[in-house]
Structure 1
């Protein structure tokens, strides 16, 4: 199957790519669109924090603060350095695939699946489909599992989420809204690990099964083969590095503005 990918790259070798390779990669990945989804998810989370922690008293100030934190352009640029650090020859080969008809279709499907998973009913249906098909040889299940294994996606997502959680609690403490020692923060964060891992696997499997469903057998095989190449692994590692930095910074900023609002509410504010 790797030979299939090599043949595809060679066949596309004459494609002209405009602009710096990293810029082309970011555009082909629709990274700004992915960050827009992340922003929408964050805004929903902020609404929950306002309701559960601030008693719904955040008001216009809270809305303005959250809007400022989750700036899509700034988030996208925050992930750029990790992509720019990939070797140029690797980016060139990645862009050949990402710029192909199948590569563009997959990127479109990735973004569409992310958006779909924001809908609670569709997410539940995707998770249920994964649960129902576990232990079978369903081709969607097989492809999703292969893509996850190739990119070590569960562990990388869990690591990113735990780091973001640590930054959030640290910001609450630094902001004077919550009293915890470093050891207590670490204990609280690591207590989430196993539950987070189980939930992450179910989400990823549901998401990827949804993503690959429109693809025929040959296109699924090519997608899996691409995910198993060194070039895809380099891109995957860079994306997690870039998103990790962005999410870590955003989580700390969110914790600080939450702490600020808790303190502003004073005695009227609910306890954490």
Structure 2
């Protein structure tokens, strides 16, 4: 009888716990979706697609030794499918934020300052699609670094708080490794290169990747945050250093690293097939 009684009472408790967990997960997913929008990621991913299309043209010129034809352009466009990118990034961010308190993140990025920061970052990222603006931003940032201006010191504090150089370098190297592995999978190396040889080659690229990353990050941030007052930028830095800010930063890198590695691997595989004259 005791076993029967316990079983009778345990079952409803398990159902209640399961329902409570499901409700909590639904609430987390809803908050995560709201945060995804508040961070301006739907528009930012559109810009990333444009960057990817331009990168596809570089691949055609540098690797495939040809100009991008309609077939290759369509292939790259399909790989950088904006709906798939949004869906994948949103799901990955939700997963990366599991167990985190999203409330303070939403509170900051739905505030007037948070929305201003997102608007400035998005606007700057779009502007840097222009090569001339990109070069000018890097030059201006380089001059500020050399002069050691107060603003560049604040931006450096922001970069350090978010570990932007190292994480972006790691992300770029992971994406490069994915591209090489895609080439390998597509038969570009005919089995002549091992995974370890590919890894060594990618590691050898680290100094150049670090230099390019540093120049781009400083150019982007100095340009983006120029309209902010020192107090506004300091408030953003303070949030970045907080526990919610650090958790969000970690989750963002995890989510987008996953997305870019997958895209780079597809690009590598498509490049190999194109080089071999196969149907893509």
* TM-score band w.r.t. shorter chain: 0.7 to 0.9
Cα deviation, residue 168, structure 1? 0.6
Q: Does 1:222 align with 2:235?
A: yes
Match of 2:47 in 1: 37
Moved more, 102-111 or 198-207: 198-207
Cα deviation, residue 137, structure 1? 4.5
Moved more, 180-189 or 147-156: 180-189
What's the secondary structure of 2:129's corresponding residue?
coil
Cα deviation, residue 29, structure 1? 0.8
The root-mean-square deviation of aligned C-alpha atoms, in Å, is 2.0
Deviations 1:149-193 (A, max 9, x none): 011110100101101101111111111112422222112101110
Q: Does 1:149 align with 2:160?
A: yes
In structure 2, how many angstroms separate the alpha carbons of the residues matched to 1:49 and 1:100? Answer: 41
Cα deviation, residue 92, structure 1? 1.0
Given the alignment, which residue of 185, 188, 192 partners 1:174? Answer: 185
Given the alignment, which residue of 59, 78, 85 partners 1:75? Answer: 85
Given the alignment, which residue of 267, 275, 279 partners 1:254? Answer: 267
Cα deviation, residue 124, structure 1? 1.4
Cα deviation, residue 58, structure 1? 5.2
Structure 2 contact 57–67 (Cα < 8 Å) conserved: no
Q: CA separation of 1:101/1:88 partners in 2, compared to 1, >3 Å: closer, same or farther? A: farther
In structure 2, how many angstroms separate the alpha carbons of the residues matched to 1:222 and 1:105? Answer: 12
Match of 2:248 in 1: 235
* Structure possessing the higher relative contact order (Cα contacts under 8 Å, 6 or more residues apart): 1
> Any stretches of 5+ residues in structure 2 without a counterpart?
1-26
Structure 1 contact 58–261 (Cα < 8 Å) conserved: no
Deviations 1:95-134 (A, max 9, x none): 1110011100000011111112221111111111222122
Within-5 A mapping of 1:92-131: 92-131=103-142
Q: CA separation of 1:151/1:59 partners in 2, compared to 1, >3 Å: closer, same or farther? A: same
In structure 2, how many angstroms separate the alpha carbons of the residues matched to 1:82 and 1:235? Answer: 12
What's the secondary structure of 2:121's corresponding residue?
helix
Cα deviation, residue 82, structure 1? 3.6
What's the secondary structure of 1:176's corresponding residue?
coil
Cα deviation, residue 87, structure 1? 4.9
In structure 2, how many angstroms separate the alpha carbons of the residues matched to 1:119 and 1:131? Answer: 18
Q: CA separation of 1:112/1:169 partners in 2, compared to 1, >3 Å: closer, same or farther? A: same
Deviations 1:52-94 (A, max 9, x none): 3333365322122111110112112212234223256621111
Cα deviation, residue 32, structure 1? 1.5
Q: Does 1:28 align with 2:43?
A: no
Larger Rg: 2
TM-score (norm 1): 0.86
Given the alignment, which residue of 181, 201, 204 partners 2:217? Answer: 204
Match of 2:199 in 1: 186
Structure 1 contact 166–186 (Cα < 8 Å) conserved: yes
Match of 2:150 in 1: 139
